Structure 1
C-alpha cells in the first residue's frame, strides 16, 4: 500500500470521488473552490487508487478540516477509511495542528466516533443529506 500527497487535485482523487459521491450517492456539487487550496491524499494498492481525502485549514472554524473521505466500494470493510484518516491526522500534526474537524454524513457518524471524533452542534443538510460537524483533539496521541 502506498500513500501519495498532492498540492493539487489529482485525477485519481477525482475518479474516486466521482465514483463514490456522484455515482453512488447522488451528490451534484462534489468539486469546489476548496479543491484548489487543499492538500489531497490518495492511497494506492498495486498502483490502483482505492481511497482519498483532502485537508485544508478552515479559518471560520479555526481548525484543520479533513474532507471528501472516500473509499472505493471493493475496499470497504478493510479499515482503509481509518487508515486514510490516520494519515491525514499525522499530516495535520506535522503542520502544527492540535485539532481537526470533519463534516460527517450522519449515517456514518458512528465510524468517526470510533476514530475519536465527537459531534459538534446540530445536524444540517448538505445536498439533502444530513451531515454533522465532528471534532478531534490531536494533542499527544501517543504516536
Structure 2
C-alpha cells in the first residue's frame, strides 16, 4: 500500500477523528484535546483518502521536542504506521533544531518506543486512569 504522510501546523479534522476514535471511544480518555494542539505540528498518515494514523510534536524550550498522541486506527495496526508517524515527527523535530525528544508513553506500549531508540526514565505518572512513563531520545 502507498501511504501519504502529511505534516501540518494545524490540527486537521482527520487527526482529530483518529484521536477521538482511539483515545476517547476505544480507550476511554476524556481530556484528549488541549491548548497544545494549537501550537503543535501534527503528523497524519492517509491510505488514499482514509485517515490511518496520527501524532503530534511540540516544544516548550526550543531544544527538547515532545512527541505525543500517537494513534493508529484499529484496521491499520500491525502495518508499522506508528513507527512511520514517530519517524516523521522526529524528522520534523530535527528540521526545527531539536537536540532531543521526550514523550510520555502508556506503560503497556513502552517497548514499542524502546525499539525506536527511546529510553525509559524514572518518571512514572498517571494520565487520567492510565499509567505512563517518560521516555527520551537524543538526536
Whether TM-score is above 0.5 comes out as yes
Partner SS state of residue 107, structure 1: helix
Give the secondary-structure state (helix, strand or coil) at the position aligned to 1:27: coil
Q: Corresponding residue for 2:86?
A: 85
User: Partner of 1:40 in structure 2?
Assistant: 42
Q: Give the aligned partner of residue 132 of structure 2.
A: 131
Encode CA deviations 1:33-89: one digit per residue, 9 max, x unaligned.
100111111011112110111110023x95100110000000111111011101110
What TM-score comes out, normalization by structure 1 length? Answer: 0.92
Deviations 1:91-136 (A, max 9, x none): 1111111210110000000110011000112311010100011001
1:22 counterpart = 2:24: yes
Paired with 1:125 and 1:69, the residues of 2 have a C-alpha distance of 17
CA distance in 1, matches of 2:73, 2:26: 10
SS in 1 for 2:32: coil
Instruction: Report the 3-state secondary structure (helix = DSSP H, G, I; strand = E; otherwise coil) of the residue aligned with 1:70.
Output: strand
Q: Gaps spanning 5+ residues in structure 2: where? A: none
How many residues get paired?
137
Question: Which structure 1 residue ranges, 5 or more long, are not aligned?
Answer: 139-143
Distance 1:23 1:118 in 2: 29
Q: Which runs of 4+ in 1 moved over 4 A?
A: none
Q: 1:96 is paired with a residue of what secondary structure?
A: coil
Q: Indicate the RMSD between aligned Cα atoms, in angstroms.
A: 1.2
CA distance in 1 between partners of 2:82 and 2:122 (Å)? 24
**Counterpart of 2:11?**
9
| Cα distance between partner residues in 1 of 2:92 and 2:63 | 17
Alignment partner of 1:119: what SS?
A: strand
